[in-house]
Amino acid sequence: MPKDSAGHLIPGRIGPDRPVDASIARPEYVGRPAPAKHTGGDVYDDETIERIRAAGTIAADAIMAVGAAVQPGVTTDQLDAIGHEFVTGHGAYPSTLGYRGFRKSVCSSVNEVICHGIPDDTVLEPGDIVNIDITAFKDGVHGDSNRTFIVGEARQEVADLVERTEESLRRAIRTVMPGRRVNVIGRAIEMYAKRFGYGVVRDFTGHGVGTSFHSGLIIPHYDTDRYDAEIVPGMVFTIEPMLTLGTHEWEGWDDGWTVVTRDRSITAQFEHTIVVREHGAEILTLPSA
Ligand code: MF3
Ligand code: CO
Ligand code: CO
């Protein structure tokens, strides 16, 4: 059911909406077709940064809770339930739920899915990989993070891809420094990925995040002269490289969300929300334990 005869994913059945207690504040876009235009820029004061860290910690802890449940036989909808309960149980709103019509609290992206996979009745099998992307909204701000988990044991080539995608994020974070341009980030990722011949996804980027989920600031993950915004202290944005075992080109499913590699090659992603400090980046989406 979840895969065709070639082993490629096919859309599953999406379950009913999960409720959120009325006591939890929603982002303004919930119940609307699209978010309001972001105002106020990408630089935040320390008090707001601490609120983004609080939201980001909930997102990170939720990802770890979901990751602990990743095993053969579990469905991506069951993972959504865990993420949903964790985030709402900590008084936060799962930012993807009702964002531009997305109906789940987690993005679950399996194997050749680059990003924005919708949790459904897809059953995870040994050797699959699944990215869990969770954003939490609390006290007026969002914290956005993701990690890729291996289901049981993967082929060496796939395990290497996962490990090196996380390493590409670490390297990207280390290039962040006031006075540099945001395109140094893509350069670091692509330079590292090219060593292994990986595809580097270009059309899905990092973004400013804080009082808005996506502020409009774009952080490239590939080597380009475009996107030359200057990195300044107090700036908050995500870095979320997607690397593939094949092409960087993509196709979208008819559900309007699921993004897959055109050649159906396996792809991994890791994401952190970071704040720029005088001496480099500080991660705002570290798990609490
Ligand atoms: N969290 C994703 C990101 O990293 C965005 C997901 S939007 C959704 O930017 F609608 F697909 F959920
Ligand atoms: Co993001
Ligand atoms: Co995300």
Beta bridge partners of 275: 236, 282
Mean pLDDT of 89-100: 99
pLDDT at site 3: 85
* Verdict on whether the full-model pTM lies above 0.75: yes
Beta bridge partners of 74: none
pLDDT band at 109 (very low <50, low <70, confident <90, very high): very high
pLDDT at site 2: 75
Are 97 and 134 in contact by the 8 Å Cβ rule? The answer is no
CA-nearest residue for atom 2, ligand 1, is: 133
Interval between CA 199 and ligand 1 midpoint (Å):
21
Task: Calculate what percentage of the chain has a pLDDT beyond 90.
Answer: 97
Mean pLDDT of 266-272: 99
Q: How distant, in Å, are the alpha carbons of 35, 77, 120, 240 from that of 97? A: 13, 13, 14, 20
Alpha-carbon radius of gyration of the chain: 18
- pLDDT score of 164 more than 90: yes
pLDDT at site 33: 98
Tokens of 281: 């980046």
Which residues have CB under 8 Å from 288's CB, separation 6+?
A: 57, 60, 61
- pLDDT tens for each residue of 36-67: 999 999 999 999 999 999 999 999 999 999 99
Q: Which ligand is nearest to the CA of 63?
A: 3
Tell me, using a 6 A CB cutoff, whether residue 145 lines ligand 1. no
Q: Measured between alpha carbons, how far is 18 from 286 in angstroms, rounded to an integer? A: 26
Tell me, using a 6 A CB cutoff, whether residue 213 lines ligand 1. no
pLDDT band at 129 (very low <50, low <70, confident <90, very high): very high
Beta bridge partners of 272: 239
Q: Measured between alpha carbons, how far is 134 from 204 in angstroms, rounded to an integer? A: 16
